[in-house]
Amino acid sequence: MEQHLYEPVHEEFRDLCRRFLTREAVPHHDRWEADGIVDREVWRKAGAAGLLGMDVDPEYGGGGQQDFRFNAVLDEEIVAAGCSGLGFGLHNDVAAPYLTDLTTDDQRKRWLPGFCSGDLVTAIAMSEPGAGSDLAGVRTSAVRDGNSYVLNGQKTFITNGEMADLVVVVVRTSDQGAHGVSLVAVETGAPGFSRGRRLAKVGLKANDTAELFFDDCRVPAENLIGTENHGFYHLMGNLPRERLSIAVAAVAAAEKLLAVTLEYARSREAFGRPIGKFQHNRFLLAELDTEVTIARTFVNHCVAEFNAGRLSVTDAAKAKWWTTELQNKVADRCVQLHGGYGFMLEYPVAKAWLDGRVQTIYGGTTEIMKEIIGRGLGL
Amino acid sequence: MEQHLYEPVHEEFRDLCRRFLTREAVPHHDRWEADGIVDREVWRKAGAAGLLGMDVDPEYGGGGQQDFRFNAVLDEEIVAAGCSGLGFGLHNDVAAPYLTDLTTDDQRKRWLPGFCSGDLVTAIAMSEPGAGSDLAGVRTSAVRDGNSYVLNGQKTFITNGEMADLVVVVVRTSDQGAHGVSLVAVETGAPGFSRGRRLAKVGLKANDTAELFFDDCRVPAENLIGTENHGFYHLMGNLPRERLSIAVAAVAAAEKLLAVTLEYARSREAFGRPIGKFQHNRFLLAELDTEVTIARTFVNHCVAEFNAGRLSVTDAAKAKWWTTELQNKVADRCVQLHGGYGFMLEYPVAKAWLDGRVQTIYGGTTEIMKEIIGRGLGL
Amino acid sequence: MEQHLYEPVHEEFRDLCRRFLTREAVPHHDRWEADGIVDREVWRKAGAAGLLGMDVDPEYGGGGQQDFRFNAVLDEEIVAAGCSGLGFGLHNDVAAPYLTDLTTDDQRKRWLPGFCSGDLVTAIAMSEPGAGSDLAGVRTSAVRDGNSYVLNGQKTFITNGEMADLVVVVVRTSDQGAHGVSLVAVETGAPGFSRGRRLAKVGLKANDTAELFFDDCRVPAENLIGTENHGFYHLMGNLPRERLSIAVAAVAAAEKLLAVTLEYARSREAFGRPIGKFQHNRFLLAELDTEVTIARTFVNHCVAEFNAGRLSVTDAAKAKWWTTELQNKVADRCVQLHGGYGFMLEYPVAKAWLDGRVQTIYGGTTEIMKEIIGRGLGL
Amino acid sequence: MEQHLYEPVHEEFRDLCRRFLTREAVPHHDRWEADGIVDREVWRKAGAAGLLGMDVDPEYGGGGQQDFRFNAVLDEEIVAAGCSGLGFGLHNDVAAPYLTDLTTDDQRKRWLPGFCSGDLVTAIAMSEPGAGSDLAGVRTSAVRDGNSYVLNGQKTFITNGEMADLVVVVVRTSDQGAHGVSLVAVETGAPGFSRGRRLAKVGLKANDTAELFFDDCRVPAENLIGTENHGFYHLMGNLPRERLSIAVAAVAAAEKLLAVTLEYARSREAFGRPIGKFQHNRFLLAELDTEVTIARTFVNHCVAEFNAGRLSVTDAAKAKWWTTELQNKVADRCVQLHGGYGFMLEYPVAKAWLDGRVQTIYGGTTEIMKEIIGRGLGL
Ligand SMILES: Cc1cc2nc3c(=O)[nH]c(=O)nc-3n(C[C@H](O)[C@H](O)[C@H](O)COP(=O)(O)OP(=O)(O)OC[C@H]3O[C@@H](n4cnc5c(N)ncnc54)[C@H](O)[C@@H]3O)c2cc1C
Ligand SMILES: Cc1cc2nc3c(=O)[nH]c(=O)nc-3n(C[C@H](O)[C@H](O)[C@H](O)COP(=O)(O)OP(=O)(O)OC[C@H]3O[C@@H](n4cnc5c(N)ncnc54)[C@H](O)[C@@H]3O)c2cc1C
Ligand SMILES: Cc1cc2nc3c(=O)[nH]c(=O)nc-3n(C[C@H](O)[C@H](O)[C@H](O)COP(=O)(O)OP(=O)(O)OC[C@H]3O[C@@H](n4cnc5c(N)ncnc54)[C@H](O)[C@@H]3O)c2cc1C
Ligand SMILES: Cc1cc2nc3c(=O)[nH]c(=O)nc-3n(C[C@H](O)[C@H](O)[C@H](O)COP(=O)(O)OP(=O)(O)OC[C@H]3O[C@@H](n4cnc5c(N)ncnc54)[C@H](O)[C@@H]3O)c2cc1C
């Protein structure tokens, strides 16, 4: 079904992404999975290729395109290439707006050139062992001490956590619940900042999800991002973009799973005919194809609305939960259609099933999305 | 979520429809349900108001708008008003193209003025007791005899069947399976044409679904619509429009059910608070709201693509099954949310549940839609 | 699959039930549906045949069998015969224990002979317009005045409400929430007791569900059933039996729907073969057959446990929601398998779909069942 | 809910199993997972403890109990202990009957003592790269040559494949489709018999699933098991027992997942209260608890029927697909309830989700089960 979202310039960028991934990521990804982390170098290569900071001001080396479609294209291609270790989406889609919209001129000058060149990998650390869904419950504290903030506490499940040169840390600067949260940038080398174990995960094996520790960790006061005690609202303002990013990846993942499985269902034979020809399977694939088409139509509409500044918190929540639940359903059904092969790690369908499972969890769980939508309905 | 399909001119037409229904249909609908049929007069009033033949050439009294959005608006408003007895959708969305696109000049002059004025109510008779899903299996025969066709056979489940002045009858003119099917117009008064029982249905109580009998029924040869033995292809060409029409009504029905139930869930109390505030119900309503938003986005995209001549048979099939299954799910969940009241006929939610059940059945069942989509996938 | 619950004596009773229904109910049921109520006489005939009060002491004319399997057999046969107008289940399974276990000798003498002969039809009135799920919220009051109780308030959705000679009314006798509820028997002719409209329902058309009004309604103090202010606990004690009764009917309904639809799927042809041979339908029927078998196994286990005095409130809640949700799923899928015929009232599948919809609502909604189970899990 | 299947003697055996696993398997399982295979020694220890061949004649060192409840107890305890690497279920439940019921006296004497002592680990090799669901399509051939069979072909996905001392290989001995299949025992050391890669799987990491190759592999003719060309019927006769075994494990896995997650949901807090107290989660857990109770009731009934010789092929198919689909649903929901922790390998819920996914695939896929049931319905 024709969609009319992307224009030729985006398709050119897609080509660029695809060539980059084929050359710089795909051949190394198995090794990265074994290592549990990607090569540091691939970030710099991505920067050089123009894949980091597409919407950052050209004065800092960014692409200067206020158009989320470029982000979406890169997210889609990373998924299509199966390069789930690359945390570019976190960097471009999630971290970027904090660094571009909430920062001072000075901060921008310090951070954005590295952000765009790949010299400064970013992470954003909200979740703690005791506070995931309940963001307002974070306990990592930052206390002003002269010209510094002194941080104490722990973060967990941080994407790019081990490699990140700059982590936007959500801290408590006052005990006023949601009104006492701030964002502070912690850079590699800050005294009292250490990283814990690389976490052993079900999927996303090449991504360095990590624990972070702050033990009287001292950072300059000018590392505050945005307004003190307004961190919660800064987060709220940016979460729709994060959720849209996840939704875009979810639809791309579902499309790829479906394509791979259609191919399999057309060629694998049982009882003398392609397994896709059995009506149960034909109907199942028709059902998945329908829902993927619908998801694609919806997420594209969301991207267009986001670009127009109209994507509400509720809309983003709808896109996030529905597409990621669909992704998981598609993955599960596609594993089943592969029979025993679906249980073998070497099959892309197995890896996609593993990688995808977290999508309904991070960035706000399905349950939290429904809370948000329900409240929007006045319930 | 903003949708951008309709323009001011459509919203004006919506107002017109709404006022018409409030005045001419809503006050009578209960009586029509008891009667099992609407007043003949409401058709002429609709014609006068410009609600019939919006895309028929103005030379015949039509609206002259080659824009399915007008059809969609009327379909939506009929659903919103709960006037399920009005078979205008069948007339405007389903029958119209047969009479405008496949007819001779002469036929258009005979039929279209009445079509637009409401003097000529139409029906389309495909299904037979022995052939519903399997259209190519129709057995009602039409044999050329001099300047006439002589029809023998039976049709069933024909919407507007009792009231229709002109029925487009799908007949067998040769024994070549799908290649031997033709369309013949049978008008009231044709010798050998009679109507059977008005069928007692689960819902759509005010619509005259009927059986039709052809017993050596003789019609002039010039009542052939389109090309002899090409009837199956004529049908295939027009089914996407029929299915889109059903999908539009499905989304409107789901939207209305949700609105009514949200209202109920906000005001009905149990255990000291609105039942919509219980998290299970809040999540359920959030889920339904999400899926209805997604369905709305998709069906609007389909309408736009249809207008642009790009809605494929497969796309229409996707829209048809998914939105009607959603409608049924929404209806069922909304009945449940009404508790005992959901089982009482006087509650709109009960009526909507009853009326809606047939949507996954007529116009091609969900199963047939999946067959079509599956074949489109090469399975 | 063999089940081993019923013994020859129950199968003999089944025969008796079946013959009774075939003779005394089936031939009249269509008329009863049109009337909205069954003939008063059928109750007396049932009494004479031994179908009322199977577990009431023989001294009052009962069967004297402390064995719920007899109740279950009758419930199953009523469902199998499609005689949904007969409120015997309410009488035997729901009302009986209040009259046998909580009553004084005197009360038993007054009421049980009529209960068993069919001269005294019973109902139980818990629900009010403002309190359905939230039983502890009933507001109908009973104030002690000398040797009488004076009742004020309204009940709604009362099964057998119009015909009942004795209604066990749940009243408020103190304002202590759940601790201020009592049960009072109100008999036909009590001053200030009147019945409202016979409610127009989606299904169960032959059953007289009604509103009841108490307007300074005066009943003798000896009409108190059980202990004053202990009504809530009396209800809690008996609800498992009510829910088991509903579950038994649900499984019987699902079995019948499946049998009817299997028959249909084997004989109805499309595209040259029985529709049940299409793999999608074959799988669907296999799935339904599996779940019905499982439900049967479970409900039989519950009946055996109930007989042994071991069926917990939680177990009954599980049986109630799961089997009734299954019944609705089976009904919905079977309607779909009937194509257009599934929407025609004359088809048993349509009627079963309509009758069954209330099963997840009355006797405690699915949601309330999950609350109960959830609390049992310490959540 | 009380179940009444097991008697004290089974509970004693359960204690034995539990102590054995705690001592001999649990402490080593992580290492076994890293190794991709369990220690050879644990089999001998299990034999010594009486956990192998519980229903084998004592004359060969077996337990002599013709009672599948002992098998079920061991299966349950292995699941409860999380020791998915132990292929005892395959040995005791699946392979045993081939060796006890179809063998000659001589064969029994050769194989059963080792079978019971753990010196002879078994596997059964049906699946081939080109024939999984379609067992009648196996191509591995066995040609009689003098006093030997000469095997050529390949098997894949063979549980215990690497460790097995004796593999029951399904071979083609004639080209008559299902009528040309035989069973031949291939022992370690047979010339031309080799093993391929240990397959990298999504779960069951400690089990040595392997490929087997037969390259002019020569085995004595007396290694034929059962009747030549009757292999397909031998398999059909034993598959219900295999499927029952899988169903028993599925229910045990679901019970364990639920217990672990209930514990988690009671203690993990968000927004100031245990996450299990949020109604959505409470209802979800109530739903899962209901279905697990129902599954337990059903599988126990199946075990009792199996012991009585009454479990039909259809019944076993019902138990297999329904309980394994339930297991997967429970696992998926429990992962979600764990939030980010559900994606961490160190959490048992994650491992259970991974291990369980294959249950709807091996032993006959869900789809094949539905085929079997559907055919049993005459469809
Ligand atoms: C691979 C991975 C990468 C991640 N990357 C990052 C990152 O880069 N930065 C970062 O800050 N975090 C990251 N996270 C953390 C992630 O955002 C959290 O795991 C997620 O928000 C859930 O929090 P939790 O794990 O504490 O679960 P909890 O909040 O403990 O939730 C447990 C369960 O309770 C449910 N629940 C919670 N509240 C409610 C409610 N009110 N009603 C109903 N149900 C409720 C949840 O939906 C969930 O099912 C990552 C996690 C993973 C696994
Ligand atoms: C209220 C109402 C109004 C209607 N209005 C009209 C009208 O105006 N004009 C008109 O011509 N018809 C009309 N119909 C008829 C309607 O289009 C048919 O009922 C519908 O197409 C299904 O045909 P059937 O009832 O013969 O079912 P069948 O074709 O007998 O189908 C029975 C079941 O088998 C399934 N099935 C059939 N083939 C397959 C397959 N290959 N694979 C899997 N499953 C399959 C179906 O999905 C269905 O579940 C109306 C019907 C109703 C109820
Ligand atoms: C045909 C029929 C026969 C009946 N017969 C009898 C009878 O003989 N005697 C009698 O006393 N009653 C009878 N009833 C009434 C029946 O028991 C009630 O309708 C039922 O208990 C639900 O109450 P309600 O209708 O007030 O719904 P409500 O209690 O208003 O519930 C509305 C919705 O809110 C949900 N809800 C309520 N509380 C919660 C919660 N805490 N969490 C989440 N969701 C919640 C419900 O599940 C439902 O979906 C009958 C009803 C019908 C329709
Ligand atoms: C961990 C593991 C352990 C195993 N252990 C053993 C073992 O010890 N011994 C052994 O012999 N085998 C074993 N197997 C193999 C297993 O039994 C097969 O994988 C399984 O039977 C499916 O076969 P397949 O993989 O070839 O899938 P296929 O048969 O190719 O099936 C692919 C898909 O098509 C579907 N399909 C097939 N036919 C139909 C149909 N008619 N209608 C609709 N859908 C259909 C299937 O359901 C599946 O979804 C094991 C597999 C695994 C993963």
Model confidence pLDDT, tens digit, residues D217-257? 999 999 999 999 999 999 999 999 999 999 999 999 999 99
Q: Which residues contact D178 (CB under 8 A, 6 or more apart)?
A: D136, D232
Q: C279-307 vs C313-337: helix axis angle to the nearest 10?
A: 160
Give the residue from D290, D321, D329, D372 with the most C CB atoms within 10 Å of its CB, the best one to mutate: D290
Name the percent of chain D in helix, strand, coil, to the closest 5: 55, 15, 25
Residue nearest to atom 32 of ligand 1 (CA): D339
> Contact at 8 Å (CB) between A211 and A196?
yes
Residue nearest to atom 14 of ligand 2 (CA): B157
Can you say how many angstroms the Cα of residue A89 is from the centroid of all Cα atoms in its chain?
5
Ligand nearest to the CA of D363: 4
Q: Where are the beta strands (DSSP E) in chain A?
A: 122-125, 141-145, 148-158, 166-172, 181-187, 193-198, 210-220, 224-225, 269-270, 273-274
Chain-chain contact of B339 with C361 (C-beta, under 8 angstroms): yes
Whether the CA torsion D252, D254, D260, D265 is positive or negative: it is negative
ipTM summary value: 0.97
What type of residue is A100? T
Cα Rg of chain C (Å, integer): 21
Rounded to an integer, what distance in angstroms lies between the CA atom of residue A297 and that of residue B186?
42
Which chains are adjacent to chain C, needing at least 3 Cβ pairs under 8 Å? Answer: A, B, D
Rounded to an integer, what distance in angstroms lies between the CA atom of residue C12 and that of residue A86?
72
Name the percent of chain C in helix, strand, coil, to the closest 5: 55, 15, 25
Place B22 in a pLDDT band, splitting at 50, 70 and 90.
Answer: very high
Rounded to an integer, what distance in angstroms lies between the CA atom of residue B86 and that of residue B79?
10
Question: Which domains does chain C show, CATH number per domain?
Answer: 8-120 (1.10.540.10), 123-229 (2.40.110.10), 232-376 (1.20.140.10)
Rounded to an integer, what distance in angstroms lies between the CA atom of residue B300 and that of residue B1?
12
**The tokens of B54 are what?**
């919006």
Q: Long-range contact list for A302-309, CB < 8 A, 24+ apart? A: A302/A244, A302/A247, A303/A5, A303/A68, A303/A69, A303/A72, A303/A244, A303/A248, A304/A5, A305/B1, A305/B2, A306/A68, A306/A240, A306/A241, A306/A244, A307/A66, A307/A67, A307/A68, A307/A69
Q: Which residue of D has its CA nearest to B282?
A: D280
Residue nearest to atom 12 of ligand 1 (CA): A127
pLDDT at C198 over 90: no
Place B176 in a pLDDT band, splitting at 50, 70 and 90.
Answer: confident
Q: Tens of pLDDT along C232-247?
A: 999 999 999 999 999 9
Ligand nearest to the CA of A202: 1
Place D160 in a pLDDT band, splitting at 50, 70 and 90.
Answer: very high
Write down the catalytic residue from A162, A242, A263, A325. A242
Rounded to an integer, what distance in angstroms lies between the CA atom of residue A32 and that of residue A41?
12
> Contact at 8 Å (CB) between D8 and D305?
no
Q: Which atom of ligand 2 is nearest to the CA of C336?
A: 49
Rounded to an integer, what distance in angstroms lies between the CA atom of residue D102 and that of residue D95?
11
For residue D59, the tally of other CB atoms under 10 A from its CB is 11
For residue A310, the tally of other CB atoms under 10 A from its CB is 12
Collapsing DSSP to helix, strand or coil, B256 comes out as helix
Looking at the complex, report in whole angstroms how far the Cα of residue D263 sits from the nearest Cα belonging to chain B.
Answer: 21
**B95-133: b (≥16 Cβ within 10 Å) or e:** bbbbbbebbeeebbebbbbbbbbbebbbbbbbbbeebbb
Rounded to an integer, what distance in angstroms lies between the CA atom of residue D12 and that of residue D325?
31
> Contact at 8 Å (CB) between B372 and A269?
no
Q: Tens of pLDDT along D289-330?
A: 999 999 999 999 999 999 999 999 999 999 999 999 999 999
Ligand 2 pocket by Cβ (under 6 Å): B 123-127, 132-133, 157-159, 201, 204, 209, 358, 361-362, 364-365, 367-368, 371; C 268, 270-271, 275, 278, 280-281, 336-337, 339-341, 343
Residue nearest to atom 19 of ligand 4 (CA): A340
Ligand 3 pocket by Cβ (under 6 Å): B 268, 270-271, 275, 278, 280-281, 336-337, 339-341, 343; C 123-127, 132-133, 157-159, 201, 204, 209, 358, 361-362, 364-365, 367-368, 371
Q: Which atom of ligand 4 is nearest to the CA of D155?
A: 11
Rounded to an integer, what distance in angstroms lies between the CA atom of residue A227 and that of residue A234?
9
Helix (H) or strand (E) holding A81: helix A68-81
- A167 strand-pairing partners: A123, A186
CA-wise closest residue to C160 among C233, C211, C219, C109: C211
Rounded to an integer, what distance in angstroms lies between the CA atom of residue D25 and that of residue D31?
10
Among D157, D170, D201, which is best to mutate for testing ligand 4, by the most ligand atoms less than 8 A from CB? D157
Q: Judge if the beta carbon of residue A270 lies within 6 A of ligand 4.
A: yes
What mean pLDDT is predicted for residues B266-289? 98
Rounded to an integer, what distance in angstroms lies between the CA atom of residue A331 and that of residue D366?
16
Range scoring the smallest mean pLDDT among B172-181, B294-303, D48-57, D82-91: B172-181
Q: pLDDT value at position C211?
A: 97
CA-wise closest residue to A330 among A303, A295, A299, A302: A295
Among C361, C369, C379, which is best to mutate for testing ligand 3, by the most ligand atoms less than 8 A from CB? C361
Residue B48 near chain A (CB below 8 Å): no
Q: Tens of pLDDT along D95-134?
A: 999 999 999 999 999 999 999 999 999 999 999 999 999 9
Helix (H) or strand (E) holding D129: none
Name the percent of chain A in helix, strand, coil, to the closest 5: 55, 15, 25
> Contact at 8 Å (CB) between A115 and A52?
yes
Q: What is the DSSP string of A91-138?
A: IIIIIHHHHHHS--HHHHHHHHHHHHHTSS-EEEE--BTTBSS-GGG-
Kindly list the distances between the CA atom of residue C307 and the CA atoms of B176, C2, C55, C321, in Å, as whole numbers in the listed order: 65, 20, 12, 20
Collapsing DSSP to helix, strand or coil, A346 comes out as coil
> Contact at 8 Å (CB) between A274 and A343?
no
Our CA angle for C48, C53, C56, nearest 5°, is 120
- Chain D partners of A134 at a C-beta cutoff of 8 Å? 270-272
Q: Which residue of D has its CA nearest to A158?
A: D340
Q: Tens of pLDDT along C49-79?
A: 999 999 999 999 999 999 999 999 999 999 9
Collapsing DSSP to helix, strand or coil, B377 comes out as coil
Among D181, D365, D368, D379, which is best to mutate for testing ligand 4, by the most ligand atoms less than 8 A from CB? D365
A242 is annotated as an active-site residue: yes
Helix (H) or strand (E) holding B168: strand B166-172
Q: What is the pLDDT tens value at each position of chain A, 379 positions in all? A: 999 999 999 999 999 999 999 999 999 999 999 999 999 999 999 999 999 999 999 999 999 999 999 999 999 999 999 999 999 999 999 999 999 999 999 999 999 999 999 999 999 999 999 999 999 999 999 999 999 999 999 999 999 999 999 999 999 999 988 899 999 999 999 999 999 988 999 999 999 999 999 999 999 999 999 999 999 999 999 999 999 999 999 999 999 999 999 999 999 999 999 999 999 999 999 999 999 999 999 999 999 999 999 999 999 999 999 999 999 999 999 999 999 999 999 999 999 999 999 999 999 999 999 999 999 999 9
Q: Which residues contact B262 (CB under 8 A, 6 or more apart)?
A: A377, A378, A379, B276, B285
Q: Which residue of B has its CA nearest to A320?
A: B290
Among C94, C157, C238, C320, which is best to mutate for testing ligand 3, by the most ligand atoms less than 8 A from CB? C157
Q: A105-117 vs A40-49: helix axis angle to the nearest 10?
A: 100
CA-wise closest residue to D120 among D65, D76, D61, D183: D61
Residue nearest to atom 19 of ligand 3 (CA): B340
- Chain B partners of D278 at a C-beta cutoff of 8 Å? 279
Q: Tens of pLDDT along D351-370?
A: 999 999 999 999 999 999 99
Chain-chain contact of D371 with C305 (C-beta, under 8 angstroms): no
| Cβ neighbourhood burial of B6 (10 Å; 0-12, 13-18, 19+) | middle
Name the percent of chain B in helix, strand, coil, to the closest 5: 55, 15, 25
Give the number of beta-carbon pairs within 8 Å between A and D. Answer: 105
Residue nearest to atom 6 of ligand 3 (CA): C158
Q: pLDDT value at position B177?
A: 86
Ligand nearest to the CA of C261: 2
Residue A278 near chain C (CB below 8 Å): yes
CA-wise closest residue to C184 among C135, C139, C136, C218: C218
Q: How far is the CA of A132 from the centre of ligand 1 (A)?
A: 4
Rounded to an integer, what distance in angstroms lies between the CA atom of residue D267 and that of residue D258?
14
Rounded to an integer, what distance in angstroms lies between the CA atom of residue A65 and that of residue C307?
74
> What CA dihedral angle connects D236, D240, D242 and D247, to 10 degrees?
150
- Chain C partners of B342 at a C-beta cutoff of 8 Å? 357, 361
Q: pLDDT value at position D176?
A: 87
Q: Tens of pLDDT along B218-230?
A: 999 999 999 999 9
Looking at the complex, report in whole angstroms how far the Cα of residue C277 sits from the nearest Cα belonging to chain A.
Answer: 10
Our CA angle for B311, B317, B322, nearest 5°, is 115
> Contact at 8 Å (CB) between D199 and D210?
yes
Kindly list the distances between the CA atom of residue A86 and the CA atoms of A73, A123, C270, D8, D344, in Å, as whole numbers in the listed order: 14, 12, 52, 56, 19
> Contact at 8 Å (CB) between C168 and C151?
no
Place C262 in a pLDDT band, splitting at 50, 70 and 90.
Answer: very high
Helix (H) or strand (E) holding C136: none
pLDDT at D198 over 90: no
Collapsing DSSP to helix, strand or coil, A280 comes out as helix
Q: Which atom of ligand 2 is nearest to the CA of B133?
A: 29
Average pLDDT of chain C?
A: 97
Write down the catalytic residue from D2, D242, D269, D371. D242
Q: Judge if the beta carbon of residue D343 lies within 6 A of ligand 1.
A: yes
What type of residue is C27? P
> Contact at 8 Å (CB) between A172 and A181?
yes
Q: How far is the CA of B206 from the centre of ligand 3 (A)?
A: 30
Average pLDDT of chain A?
A: 97
Residue A313 near chain D (CB below 8 Å): no
Residue D279 near chain B (CB below 8 Å): yes
What mean pLDDT is predicted for residues D138-153? 97
**The tokens of A195 are what?**
């990283």
Residue B279 near chain C (CB below 8 Å): no
Rounded to an integer, what distance in angstroms lies between the CA atom of residue C278 and that of residue C276?
5
Helix (H) or strand (E) holding D342: none
Which residue is listed with tokens 């790019």?
A160
> Contact at 8 Å (CB) between A141 and A155?
no
Q: pLDDT value at position B198?
A: 84
